[in-house]
Structure 1
Amino acid sequence: MPSTAKTLHFISSALITAISVGLMGYAMSKQWARTTIQCARGGSGLFNGTAILTLELFSGNLERTSCPSFGGDERFNVFPKLTETGVTPLALYSMVLCLLVLCLLFSACSILICLYNSVSNPYETYMGPVGVYTCSSLSACLSVLALIIFVVNINVTSMAEDLVKNFAGGLLVDLKNKSSEMQLGYYLIIPYTVLCLGAIGVTYNYDHAAYKQRKEQQRPTEDAPKEIMMY
């Protein structure tokens, strides 16, 4: 049976990771970005309209004011609409979602490994602290990569403009002055990353203490005279 210290450390690591999973699940249900674009009827040069695009991971909302007609408020599913626009925004958006799913998968593996270590003494393999380091570090790295790709997709590609033009009903429309703000769902991934690193820190704290204890127990044997060790 594992020691009390080991059980407490790995239970704590599992709890931290479970909190991070709940946080990401909540983040995936909230708004991620809000983009505002000035709008004009094609060729008029009079940019007196606006389009406000609000995105969650799976759905979105487009609020149009004189863009290009009187406007409207449309709710839509993100992936079907992106398939009607460009290949690059769809690929990047799909990549973000895949990375987030992988984060959840690796976090679940980390929780299982922590729980296994809290009730048993596995060898130093992927089922020990090494497994927690690997799964939690992958979760942290992939979550950061998802944040970067999402920002690039919102600000660099023409995803927002293409979605606005898709709702214009075939009318020509000119767009300019795009400005984007990240929303709550996006920012909640940052504490998720921090919690993954925290789980690594708790596990390392135990692993390092256990390593020092093993070294101290081996030292008397190493320092003993050769004559005594022969017996």
Structure 2
Amino acid sequence: MPSGTKSLHFLLSALLTAISAAVLGFAMSTNWSKTTMDCRGIGTNNGSAAITMGLFDGLLVRDSCPSFGSQSKFLVFTELSRITKTPMILHGLCVCLLALCLLCSVLSILISFYNSVSNPYETFMGPIGVYVCSSASACLSLLVLIIFVLNITVTTMAEELVPSIETIVSVVLRNKTSQMQVGYFLVIPYMVLSLGAVLLIYLYEHTAYTHRREQERPTEDAPKEIMMY
């Protein structure tokens, strides 16, 4: 059986990872971005169009774009499949990476629980497993943050989605401004909590290693008269 200190550290690591997974699960179910654009049709006054997007569904709100307003809910992947492929590929990559994050978090939880009740060897079922899984979660989530914001701000996804969703022709969209929403920002605490799980195991390993070194240290502090025999 592992020591009480080891069990405590690994259980706390599992708890942090479970909280992070819950945060990420909620993040994946809510809005990630809102993009607003000025809209002008032929022979009409300026209006506006705003697209609020989650990972799987979204909402398009039009005001005098081109000549009247409306609200339309849409499925993200369905609409992305109708425009150029780059936005859909990047968006799909984000979703796949987030799914891998959740998988790594689940593996980290299982390994942490296993180590809290057992003393496995230094393999991927030991502390190394927690390091790999939780670090992978943090790195992949950081990559998602970068890819998603690039997809929103750099590509023409929003400009193409507005006329595609409502089948509008002869409309000009410009002055795009994008704001990240709750779902996007919740990935940051997920990443921090994943690194916190790694830190807990590292602190235990460092303390245990220091303790072992002190026990294995030869009689350096013994009197010279004793060491001569």
Aligned to 1:166: 164
Q: What is the CA distance between 1:213 and its match in structure 2?
A: 1.2
Mapped to 2, the partners of 1:194 and 1:213 lie a distance apart of 28
Of residues 214-223 and 84-93 in structure 1, the stretch that sits farther from structure 2 once superposed is: 214-223
With over 3 angstroms needed to count, the CA separation of the structure-2 counterparts of 1:47 and 1:145, relative to structure 1, is farther
Preserved contact between residue 137 and residue 194 of structure 2 (Cα < 8 Å): yes
Q: What is the CA distance between 1:167 and its match in structure 2?
A: 2.9
With normalisation by structure 2, the TM-score equals: 0.94
Aligned to 1:94: 92
Q: What is the CA distance between 1:220 and its match in structure 2?
A: 2.5
Preserved contact between residue 74 and residue 165 of structure 2 (Cα < 8 Å): no
Aligned to 1:183: 181
Moved over 2 A (4+): 167-170, 220-224
Aligned to 2:128: 130
State the aligned residue count. Answer: 226
Q: What is the CA distance between 1:86 and its match in structure 2?
A: 1.1
Preserved contact between residue 90 and residue 148 of structure 2 (Cα < 8 Å): yes
Mapped to 1, the partners of 2:149 and 2:45 lie a distance apart of 26
Uncovered stretches (5+) of structure 2, i.e. residues with no partner: none
1:116 pairs with one of 114, 117, 121: 114
Uncovered stretches (5+) of structure 1, i.e. residues with no partner: none
User: What is the alpha-carbon root mean square deviation over aligned residues?
Assistant: 2.0
Q: What is the CA distance between 1:208 and its match in structure 2?
A: 0.6
Aligned to 2:47: 49
Mapped to 2, the partners of 1:39 and 1:65 lie a distance apart of 8
The letter of the residue matching 1:132 is V
Aligned to 2:78: 80
Mapped to 1, the partners of 2:92 and 2:128 lie a distance apart of 30
SS at match of 1:62: strand
Mapped to 2, the partners of 1:117 and 1:106 lie a distance apart of 16
Preserved contact between residue 45 and residue 64 of structure 2 (Cα < 8 Å): no
Q: Percent identity?
A: 57
The letter of the residue matching 1:150 is F
Preserved contact between residue 32 and residue 180 of structure 2 (Cα < 8 Å): yes
- Output one character per residue of 1:80-103: Cα deviation in whole Å (capped at 9) or x when no partner: 100001100000000000000000
Aligned to 2:196: 198
Q: What is the CA distance between 1:223 and its match in structure 2?
A: 9.0
